[in-house]
Amino acid sequence: MNGPHDLGGQMGFGPVAPEPNEPVFHSDWEKRALGLTLSCGAFGYWNIDESRHARESIPPADYLAASYYEIWMRGLETLLVRHGFATGEELTTGRSLLQGTAPKRVLKADMVPGVLAKGGPCDRPLDMQPRFAVGEGVRTKNFNPTTHTRLPRYARAKAGVIEAVQGSFVFPDDNAHGKGENPQWLYTVTFEGSEIWGEGADPTLTVCIDAWESYLERL
């Protein structure tokens, strides 16, 4: 979808200003936000792609005014309400008022190291060969879905070259909306800076993105 999370190439938002020696967390509530997001994700009712889409769906003014972990918490609230774990009133009052959905599993403290070490691999085998090869010219499709996509807005309808075939992975555009994992081949595609930003772009710049097969067409 097109939203405030997808800022590549847009003007008017000021320069990127990295924070020197930035701490992992700026305050204790951010630690809790991370812990809540991970523990609720372990309930087994949504996946990482649905979680990302929940954050992307925050109204633009609210999204741009929020900090990183505020965005995480607002996305989590959406998921908890959507899947019946809490109501909007319960989130506002901070009190349990109804019997909500029962988790499929509960992440206990002693389980955390093992769960984090295992991660969430999303590579999946495919019995078909990649459609594109390294060195081949491709063009990204031009679409503007209201649903989730991992193709950046600034890289749509752009010509590039396949730099690498990364393997086959869960297709997030479907997985975010309960349509199954539907794995596809994933490619690294390189674009000239001028292709992305047009006349006046730094001629020494290139941009690389990872793109699923259905995002691409042959030149």
pLDDT of res. 108 = 94
Q: How confident is the model at residue 95 (pLDDT cuts 50, 70, 90)?
A: very high
Residues 147 and 104 reside in one and the same domain? no
pLDDT of res. 9 = 74
Q: Give domain status of residue 123, yes or no.
A: no
Please tell me which residue, 11 or 43, carries the higher pLDDT value.
Answer: 43
Q: Which of 8-12, 193-197, 204-208 shows the lowest per-residue confidence on average (mean pLDDT)?
A: 8-12
pTM of the entire structure?
Answer: 0.92
pLDDT of res. 153 = 94
Residues 39 and 87 reside in one and the same domain? yes
Residues 144 and 208 reside in one and the same domain? yes
pLDDT of res. 114 = 94
Q: Give domain status of residue 112, yes or no.
A: yes
pLDDT of res. 182 = 98
Residue 131, number of CB atoms within 10 A of its CB: 16
Structural domain range at position 210: 137-218
Buried b (16+ CB within 10 A) or exposed e, 40-49: bbbbebbbeb
- Coil, helix or strand for 50? helix
Among 57, 86, 118, the domain boundary falls at 118
Residues 52 and 105 reside in one and the same domain? yes
Residues 109 and 33 reside in one and the same domain? yes
pLDDT of res. 11 = 82
Sequence-ordered list of residues with C-beta below 8 angstroms from that of 50, at least 6 positions apart, any chain: 79, 148, 175, 176, 177, 178
Which residues on adjacent β-strands are paired with residue 218?
A: 138
Alpha-carbon Rg for the chain, nearest whole angstrom, is 20
Nearest CA to 33 out of 63, 4, 2, 73 is that of 73
Among 67, 87, 118, the domain boundary falls at 118
pLDDT of res. 13 = 85
Q: Give domain status of residue 4, yes or no.
A: no
Quick: pLDDT tens for 80-92: 999 999 999 999 9
pLDDT of res. 39 = 96
Q: What is the CATH number of the domain that holds 80?
A: 1.10.472.20
Quick: pLDDT tens for 126-160: 999 999 999 999 999 999 999 999 999 999 999 99
Q: How far apart are CA 85 and CA 51, in angstroms?
A: 15
Among 118, 146, 180, the domain boundary falls at 118
Quick: pLDDT tens for 15-48: 888 999 999 999 999 999 999 999 999 999 999 9
pLDDT of res. 12 = 85
Mean pLDDT along residues 90-113: 95
pLDDT of res. 16 = 84
pLDDT of res. 10 = 81
First to last CA, the chain: 25
Residues 37 and 114 reside in one and the same domain? yes
